[in-house]
Amino acid sequence: MDFEEFRTRGKEMVDYIADYLKTVERRPVYPLVEPGYLRPLIPDSAPQQPDSFEDLMKDVERVIMPGVTHWQSPNFHAYFAAATSFPGLLGDMLSGAIGCIGFSWAASPACTELETVMLDWLGKMLNLPEEFLAGTNGVGGGVIQGTASESTLVALLAARKRIVTHMQAKSPDLEEAMILSKLVAYTSEQSHSSVERAGLIAAVKMRKLPTDEKFSLRGEVLKQAVEEDKALGLIPFYICATLGTTSSCAFDNIMELGPICNSENIWMHIDAAYAGSAFICPEFRDLLNGVEFSDSFNFNPHKWLLVNFDCSAFWVKKRSELVGTFKMDPLYLKHDHQDSGLITDYRHWQIPLGRRFRSLKMWFVFRLYGVKGLQEHIRKQVDLAHEFESLVRQDDQFEIVGEVVVGLVCFRLKGSNELNEKLLKGINKMRKIHIVPCELREKYVLRFAICARTCESKHIQYAWQNIKEIATDVQAGRQ
């Protein structure tokens, strides 16, 4: 494909994308395919000679689209949102074209420096404590990670390094393996599976603590666990607190947890993967109170802040603690400016070495929406969640589980888990809307998340209509 053909095909693709997004709600939101559907539809090996672009695009409709779960459909209410926006798409196109790999400052200074400044912009939008910002002389700062899972892991590894260094400074004879065997990390029973996984990867104990009636981890519970573990000779060193859990969007009480962590030398990481975007609105900023006690904080603009995946924003108070975890400098990655205080080599901040120019899409989104535009998006989606909540509350057959704080509504038919499982299956089988369940204190619960950027009141009404109809069938034993 030469330059001129790219101009033509690129513009056709832009139109295809606009058409796709404009009409996506007409497609069944959840695909009607069985496992293994795709393999028989295409050849079993790559063509020797080039295929034509026309044939390829025909196959996008024939092979791909029938198997897509349409996350961008306004009828998609499963998991949490996966952000996209036009500015985000445009920024990402440019990033692909520049095609630089920004592992060090020198590998592409703009890639590194725009990222540092965008994380400062975003930190200011959230009103994060000054210590988390890089500024010109800061000791903290932000970085784009791929996912919240990686942020949790990176924080855990930094915490592990910090405690090992600390213990060995006190007792130089202590072997690392001995220390590792005594480490204990905490999180709530409601936290994301990736937290437990981070413990597995880092080979440390991860203790899941019980939550209160609002599914929130409280200070007293942590305090007791720490005391128990210390009495057993273990070394508490890390907690991952969640603001906005995946199951029910519950908020751990970081105002209570924070001071305990600080006095016990426990690294507090806060995972606000989903809910974090809401904190750019002053009316939701209180939910972040207590962040000042934490060592690291993370949320995913790629969930709810209109920046395409992947873009997980991660801040740390002391960048030296993060960098010290990973630093290795082979000659082929060294560069002249390396030891300047102004230099950031982001490869020391993350698991992968390579990294795309992801801050471009943030810059495009922030500038083309403006803070007001982003706040509007959040507020509109929270309003839609409350609209759905009030529909549920008006119906005696249903109950709300937990609280609707931002954009997630947990609800269920009053009655057995079996009934609710049938309801969920019925809904997804209809393919008009798509939702997923969760389990809360042994209750099978349905999660209704406001996802697509284009979701409007009419889609909420449409969804509720569907749910009601299927609920009637289920109650009548017709599903």
Residue 53, CA atoms < 13 Å, CB-side half-sphere: 10
User: What is the smallest separation between the CB atom of 24 and a second copy, expressed in angstroms?
Assistant: 9
Query: Both tokens of residue 192?
Result: 């994301």
User: What is the smallest separation between the CB atom of 394 and a second copy, expressed in angstroms?
Assistant: 26
Rule CB under 8 A: choose which of 62, 130, 263, 342 binds a second copy.
342
Rounded Cα distance between 477 and 26, Å, is: 29
Closest CA to 292 of 249, 258, 323: 258
Are 303 and 81 contacting, i.e. CB atoms less than 8 angstroms apart?
yes
User: What is the smallest separation between the CB atom of 18 and a second copy, expressed in angstroms?
Assistant: 5
Rule CB under 8 A: choose which of 75, 188, 308, 420 binds a second copy.
308
Query: Both tokens of residue 81?
Result: 């949102």
Residues 201-240, one symbol each (x = binds a second copy by CB under 8 A, - = not), give xxx-------------------------------------
Site for a second copy in 131-150 (CB under 8 A): 136, 146-150
Rounded Cα distance between 238 and 245, Å, is: 18
Site for a second copy in 244-273 (CB under 8 A): 246-247
Q: How many residues bind a second copy (CB under 8 A)?
A: 149
Backbone angles phi, psi at 146, to 5 degrees: -70, -45
Q: Is 113 in the site for a second copy (CB under 8 A)?
A: yes
Q: Is 337 in the site for a second copy (CB under 8 A)?
A: yes
Site for a second copy in 89-108 (CB under 8 A): 89-90, 92-94, 96-101, 105-108
Q: Is 371 in the site for a second copy (CB under 8 A)?
A: yes
Q: Is 13 in the site for a second copy (CB under 8 A)?
A: yes
Site for a second copy in 21-50 (CB under 8 A): 21-22, 31, 33-39, 42, 44-50
Nearer to a second copy, 122 or 261 (CB): 122
Length of the chain: 479
**Pairing outcome for strands 312-316 and 398-400:** unpaired
Nearer to a second copy, 11 or 414 (CB): 11
Alpha helices in 126-175 (DSSP H): 148-170
Query: Both tokens of residue 18?
Result: 């606009």
271 preceded by a cis bond (ω within 30 of 0): no
Nearer to a second copy, 214 or 367 (CB): 367
Are 324 and 161 contacting, i.e. CB atoms less than 8 angstroms apart?
yes
Nearer to a second copy, 204 or 260 (CB): 204
Distances (CA, A) of 89 to 83, 308, 366: 10, 7, 13
Rule CB under 8 A: choose which of 169, 231, 232, 328 binds a second copy.
328
Greatest CA separation for the chain? 74
Q: List residues bridging with 314 in a β-sheet.
A: 143, 298
User: What is the smallest separation between the CB atom of 318 and a second copy, expressed in angstroms?
Assistant: 19
Q: Is 310 in the site for a second copy (CB under 8 A)?
A: yes
Rule CB under 8 A: choose which of 251, 366, 398, 411 binds a second copy.
366
